[in-house]
Structure 1
Amino acid sequence: MADSAALRGGVIGAGVFGGYHARQYAQQDGAVLSAVLDPHPDRAAKVAMPLGGRAFHELDAFLEAVDVVTVASPATVHAEHVLAALAAGKPVYVEKPIAVSVADAERIRRSAAAKGLVLACGHQERVVFRAMGLLDVPEQPLRLEALRHGPPSERSRDVSAVLDLMVHDIDLALSLTTARPLTGGLRASGGWDDTLAELAFDDGFSARFDVSRQAAARKRTMRVVFPSGEVEIDFVARTFRNTTPFGLDPDFADTPAGRDPLGASIASFLMAVRGAAPRPVVTADEAIRALDVALAVEGGAQLSAPAA
């Protein structure tokens, strides 16, 4: 796949995020949207056909029609779809979370490694941190406080708010520190749609995560405290306040990556597939670290799926 031919992109899942990914393949240089797979053929056709792709409802036929695969199906079937795509020799970009168990995530990692295939995970908000310059700050953080609230939605109801929302902020916290979470350093409480967690790390860093899918309005903020100052981010307004001496980019939202983090993440994946980049934005190892912490939060809060 290192030649100049356009890569045929395929998307599993014709929901909201599947549509986002299908449009990315249709507009990325060196790629085309070839196929969309969904158990509901009409939904697949609605996403695929306006972009020049074909609709599929059978996995084997879909995999024959594509070179690279995005898995944007419900999280509870991520592992099934990723493993099938890898078995067919296809590089995979899987939306977060990489799986809903560490055991399945490890199976995915081993399969990709054994076949030498690129595997990326859709924690694309790391692109925003990179655009801001936060990933280049030469200090370890002391404290992180993240709040991610939104109104009720039917999307991602197969997993808790921890795996739906909090896992984003867990990954961002892990991207800022080399420290490791302490065994026994977790306190968590809440329910399936609202969860609060406090996490301690082995170098004294601590993080607080607050998520809700039952809020009256959308609110996403983060405060990161460094020895030399702090950064307060409003992800909805796409602004931040910086009292550190480090030159973060106040115009990050106007950069190509800041305007389209998903597009930058997909472009990085395709470059890695072609051998033009050493890795995607988020690797399997990083996705598994975030999943491991998220599942510990679920266990600490004793979350279980509500009765149907």
Structure 2
Amino acid sequence: MSVRIGVVGLGRMGKLHCRVLSEMTQVELACVVDRDTELAAELARKYHTTALPDAPAAAEAVDAAVIAVPTVAHVEVARPFVLAGKPVLIEKPIATGSAEAEELLDLADQTGSTVHVGHTERFNPAVQAIRRFDIAPKFIEAHRISPFTFRSADIGVVLDIMIHDIDLVLMMVAAEPVQVQAVGVNVLGAPEDIANARLTFPTGCVANLTASRLAIKTERKMRIFSEQAYLSVDYAKRVGIVVKKSENLDLIQMARRMDAKDLAELALGVDYTKLVRFEELKIENTVEPLRQQAEAFCRSITDGAEPVVTGRQGLAAVRCAEAIIESIKSHPWDGSPTGRTGLDIIRKDVS
């Protein structure tokens, strides 16, 4: 029996969800919804489904729904489905604020609805490859930059782009930060477009996250340092390397026995990169991450499987993002003398 799923919000991500769901034999794309009724009608014709006027109407026609509207409307649009006890997959982030996210999750607890959050990077095969290593991170460094896409202008870069790495870091550390320091700049509008955050965790792990949506190139990289190994991964290219301590103990012991002068002499004829033993990260899964996410959503509906990213995990990511944004807003740009804090540092001089 097919699972009847509706897609609400037919922007870039909504269209992708429609395409993926329409290709799945276990799914019936039951309806599409968008405030642009012409667009909804067009996609309904393309995928041989029904265009419905709003979320409440869709909640009566489906077994579950994908919520792909702008972030500011996530909770409002998801609520009719949650009230009806229907599972929802909400695009990341779950909400613009933790209070409204928590309210929706409390409602889901009452009605029996299941809330999934679309942190699709969890399904990136590079992420799945990293998770095969049993490591306890001590330092994580992430860079996620891209040119401006003119989408998600209703939120800043922290909720738009950095949220991916926030979720991944929280997953790896299995804790929320106890200290957050951040700085950011808004260039094109009210929300921040560039941000850097330093997160300190109760485990002693420190994560340094950088995000920009004003770059001239796209880059999604992370480096993970632990006592057991060092991992470097490029999420966009889906490649990476692993340097294990256990495979390099002889090199470490040799270096520790030598003084600075001995090491300097080695530099004349030894290539360090040839000494280090490393392995390529084995990235095997070639299934599209969005397809994997949709299949996991279906398994949860039909078999009761635990969501890959639960609503509570999505809430934790938003809580962390809120703390980063608050730190950005309070950052003293010039120290104490001028009192300039937070955003709106780049502004036209007024004579």
**Is the TM value for this pair above 0.5?**
yes
CA shift for structure 1 position 84 = 1.8
The one-character-per-residue Cα deviations of 1:257-290 (angstroms, maximum 9, x if unpaired) are: xx3111111111111111252x111001111111
Matched with 1:266 is 294
CA shift for structure 1 position 235 = 1.5
Q: SS where residue 79 of structure 2 aligns?
A: helix
Matched with 2:114 is 118
Equivalent AA in structure 1 for residue 193 of structure 2: D
| Contact 1:149–1:211 (Cα < 8 Å) also in 2 | yes
| Contact 2:241–2:280 (Cα < 8 Å) also in 1 | no
Aligned length: 298
CA shift for structure 1 position 124 = 1.8
Q: Within 5 A, what are the aligned runs for 1:247-258?
A: 250-252=281-283, 254-256=284-286
Give, in whole Å, the separation in 1 of the partners of 2:10 and 2:133: 38
Matched with 2:184 is 189
The one-character-per-residue Cα deviations of 1:224-252 (angstroms, maximum 9, x if unpaired) are: 11112211111121100111369998442
Q: Within 5 A, what are the aligned runs for 1:79-158?
A: 79-128=75-124, 132-158=128-154
**Which shows bigger deviation, 82-91 or 287-296?**
82-91
Matched with 1:216 is 216
Equivalent AA in structure 1 for residue 285 of structure 2: T
Q: Within 5 A, what are the aligned runs for 1:61-72?
A: 61-72=57-68
Q: Within 5 A, what are the aligned runs for 1:230-241?
A: 230-241=230-241
| Contact 2:184–2:193 (Cα < 8 Å) also in 1 | no
Correspondence for 1:26 among 1, 22, 26 = 22
Q: SS where residue 73 of structure 1 aligns?
A: coil
Q: 1:122 to 1:86 in 2, by over 3 A?
A: same
Matched with 2:267 is none
Q: Percent identity?
A: 30
The one-character-per-residue Cα deviations of 1:62-107 (angstroms, maximum 9, x if unpaired) are: 2222211000000000010111211123210000010111111101
Q: 1:25 to 1:130 in 2, by over 3 A?
A: same
Larger-Rg structure = 2
| Contact 2:122–2:128 (Cα < 8 Å) also in 1 | no
Equivalent AA in structure 2 for residue 21 of structure 1: H
Q: What residue ranges of structure 2 are gaps of 5+ in the alignment? A: 187-191, 248-277, 330-341
CA shift for structure 1 position 51 = 1.4
**Which shows bigger deviation, 78-87 or 53-62?**
53-62
- Say if 2:9 is the partner of 1:13: yes
Q: 1:179 to 1:107 in 2, by over 3 A?
A: closer
The one-character-per-residue Cα deviations of 1:143-198 (angstroms, maximum 9, x if unpaired) are: 1111111111111111101000001100000111134311x442333331111111
- RMSD over aligned CA atoms reads 2.3
Correspondence for 2:51 among 51, 55, 61 = 55
Using structure 1 for the length normalisation, give the TM-score: 0.90
Q: 1:238 to 1:133 in 2, by over 3 A?
A: closer
Using structure 2 for the length normalisation, give the TM-score: 0.79
Give, in whole Å, the separation in 2 of the partners of 1:187 and 1:59: 37
CA shift for structure 1 position 10 = 0.5
Give, in whole Å, the separation in 1 of the partners of 2:33 and 2:226: 45
Correspondence for 2:39 among 32, 43, 48 = 43
**Which shows bigger deviation, 131-140 or 150-159?**
131-140
**Which shows bigger deviation, 136-145 or 239-248?**
239-248
Give, in whole Å, the separation in 2 of the partners of 1:55 and 1:185: 44
